[in-house]
Amino acid sequence: AADMMLKWLAVLVVLATLGCPAWGAEHTSALVVDDIVCRGNLTTSCKFIRGHLFLRAGQSLDENEIDNATLRLSWLPNFRSVAIHLEKGAERGRVIVVIEVVEADPIATAFSAGLSFRSGSQSGTVTGRIGDHNLFGSGKSLDLILAGEQPIAGLTARESLARLEYTDPQLFGSRRNFLFAGARSEE
């Protein structure tokens, strides 16, 4: 009986050493990032896209970071869709991380017109907005908003508003610093 126990123990040790999934052991091989490439980006720089993936060539592949980068990029108004997949690298155990994007139109426009009735006064309102959410192909944005109100009847005063906003999500190439600045004029 002791002989049989030793044989079974030896079999279990061999199976565990081989990484048999049936015994709960996981067989993992550390993949190393060979390169990170971008596809589908016509106007957005690959440097901007890669800046949202916190991996570098030569590092071990981190699948959680790939999932997080997919979410970070998907939330940007620059892209309609984002997918990240792996391709074979130069040698066994090495991979190329491919970030495929479908870019959205970087120019956003809006226009509205209407009538306002307040406290016996009437006025016409007009509002317009134009913005570029991929300024210089680097993910920076510039928005111009103009609004005006013209009295039609009553005691309403003429009003106008102009607002210019600039956003840099990666100030000086940093992943941690951003800039938001704006200027506003009212009459």
The residues, any chain, with a CB within 8 Å of residue 30's CB and separated by 6 or more, are 60, 61, 93
What is residue 25's predicted lDDT score, i.e. its pLDDT?
39
What is residue 28's predicted lDDT score, i.e. its pLDDT?
43
Cβ–Cβ under 8 Å, residues 56 and 35: no
CB atoms within 10 A of CB 159: 14
Cβ–Cβ under 8 Å, residues 157 and 165: no
User: Could you tell me the pTM of the whole model?
Assistant: 0.63
Regions of the chain short of the pLDDT cut 70: 1-29
Tell me which amino acid residue 67 is.
Answer: D
pLDDT digits (tens, 9 = 90+) for 76-93: 888 999 999 999 999 999
pLDDT digits (tens, 9 = 90+) for 150-165: 888 887 778 899 999 9
Q: In what order do the strands lie in the sheet with 140-153?
A: 107-118, 121-135, 140-153, 159-168, 179-186
Cβ–Cβ under 8 Å, residues 38 and 49: yes
What is residue 4's predicted lDDT score, i.e. its pLDDT?
63
What is residue 50's predicted lDDT score, i.e. its pLDDT?
92
Q: Which of 104, 98, 127 is nearest to 115 (CA)?
A: 127
DSSP calls for the chain? -HHHHHHHHHHHHHHHHHT-GGGT-------EEEEEEEES-SSS-HHHHHTTS---TTSBP-HHHHHHHHHHHHTSTTEEEEEEEEEE-SSTTEEEEEEEEEEPPSEEEEEEEEEEEETTEEEEEEEEEEEEEEETTTTEEEEEEEEEEEEEESSPPPEEEEEEEEEETTGGG-SS--EEEEEEEE-
